[in-house]
Each structure stands twice: as structure tokens, then as C-alpha cells.
Amino acid sequence: MPACVDQELLLGGLVDGELDAANVALVEAHVARCEACREALERLQAVRSLLASDGVRHEAPDGLRRRIAELPELSPARAPRRLPGWLAPGVGGALAAALAMVAFTGPLQQQSALDQQIISSHVRSLQPGHLIDVQTSNRHVVKPWFNGKIDFSPPVPELADRGFPLVGGRLDSIGGKTVPAIVYKRRLHTVNVYVWPSTNARSRETVKDGFAIEEWSNGGLRFAAVSDIPAAELRQFHMLFVARSS
């Protein structure tokens, strides 16, 4: 049984000791509930142990080492020729236009990539066993559960009386960083709220690939709520979350 696609590189990093403490906790929590990834991790550990055994690692012969050491250094590349005077202004203008386009499209591309990560994480969480690390409708259990796992404290308002019951929380990864995900329900649908430190980010809403996304900032934190419920309902959730958080 193959490991989860989004965990393959992380499993290798865990075996090689390349993950930070937060990602180690995230991967270990996932492995504890995912049999396929647990088996993949055991295979990686077995291979690493085998490669470390005597007689398995191949050492380069001494003769090859000497020949490599005796190779002459590469000569530095010749400096590029100057552009003709008549061509320089045109190249300068083209370069300025290219830089302007990069400056304009860069933030849009970054935002699009972030939206895709949020949606991918949301879809991944809907797979069996991936949604919740701590399952409870009690905010006084969910909020302390994040202590020690992240270096900030996200608000966890209870919204059950307004049709969005709290069901738990988990650790997830957005933009290569470990972030808390607070999980709510709306009828049979799931609403994931991702939180990470950020300032001076504007509120925005969008619909992409059939998923509504609401983003806002408050108290030095950035929030992103995502769900397949109608955008108007997710906007209502956003307003309730902000009101109850304050």
C-alpha cells in the first residue's frame, strides 16, 4: 500500500533527520493514524539501516581520487562583449518592461499558489483519518491543544448556535510552515480555518475550483477559511468568527 503522495518527501526527511521540530511532530502525528505511511516509514528506516551496514557502502578507489585531484582548474569564462550603442536603449527598455511585468504578476502568482495550497490541504483533510488530530466541540480543549506545537495562540470561537459547530483541530502545512487548522461543520460540509502570523494583509474572498476561500487579518494573524459551501455562507462564517474572536 503506497504512502500518501503529500507525505513521501516528508517521510524521507524524517528518516534523514532533515525536518525541524514542528514538522517532525506533524509527520509523526500523521504516521500514527495512517497505516500506509507507517509501513512506508518502516521500509525507509530498514533501507537506511541496511545502507549503513559494513561492506554495503562503496568507496571510490585511491587511483580515481588521485586523478580527480590532479584535474586542472577550469579557466574563467570570458567576459561578455559590450552591446552596440544603438542597441543598448532598446535592451534597457525591454528589461524595464519585463521587470514591471514581474512586479505586477509576482504577487498575483504568489496569491494563486497560496490559494491552491489551501484548497489542496482542505481536500487532503477530507480523506479518512486526515481531518482531526484533537476531536472535540469544546474550545477550551482545542485551544490548549495547540500550546507547545506552534509559537502563537489562535482564537477558537464556538459557533454552534449559529450553525457552524466546532469539531476539533489539527496541525497542517501551508507554504512550507506548520500551521493550526481549526475545523468546523456546516450541515454535512467541512470548514477548515488555517491561521499563521502575518501583518498588513488585506481581506479578500474568492472561489476557485468549486471551493470558496475567505481571508482576513486580525491581531497580527492571518486567517484563511475554505469550504465547498456557498460563498455567501462562508462570508457569514467569516463575520461570525471575527465577532466571536473579539
Question: Reduced to 3 states, what is the DSSP secondary structure of residue 218?
Answer: strand
C-alpha 211/C-alpha 197 separation (Å) is 23
What is the pLDDT at residue 101?
A: 56
Question: Reduced to 3 states, what is the DSSP secondary structure of residue 157?
Answer: coil
- Residue 55 sits at φ, ψ, to 5 deg, of 90, -5
What is the pLDDT at residue 44?
A: 87
What is the pLDDT at residue 84?
A: 60
Would you list the domain boundaries of the chain?
Answer: 5-51, 110-245
What is the pLDDT at residue 105?
A: 44
Give the number of other Cβ atoms within 10 Å of residue 161's Cβ: 9
pTM tops 0.75, yes or no: no
C-alpha 210/C-alpha 226 separation (Å) is 11
- The CATH architecture annotation of domain 110-245 reads 2-Layer Sandwich (3.30)
Q: Which helix (H) or strand (E) holds 196?
A: strand 189-197
Query: What is the chain's pLDDT, residue by residue, as a tens digit (246 residues)?
Result: 778 877 888 888 888 878 766 677 778 878 888 888 888 888 888 887 777 666 655 667 777 778 887 877 655 555 555 556 655 566 566 666 666 554 544 455 566 778 888 998 899 888 887 789 999 999 999 999 999 899 999 999 999 999 999 999 999 988 778 999 999 999 999 999 999 998 767 789 999 888 999 999 998 999 999 999 999 999 999 999 999 997
